[in-house]
Structure 1
Amino acid sequence: MQDFLTGLAFFLIIEGLVYALAPRFLIEMAKLLPSVPERQLRAFGLVAVVLGVGGVWLLRG
Structure 2
Amino acid sequence: MGEQRHDMTENAEVVLHQVRVAISPDHVPEKRAELTAFCERLVTLAEIWARQCINQRHAELTEL
Q: TM-score, normalised by structure 1?
A: 0.49
Q: Which has the larger radius of gyration?
A: 2
Pick the structure with more strand per residue.
2
Q: TM-score, normalised by structure 2?
A: 0.47
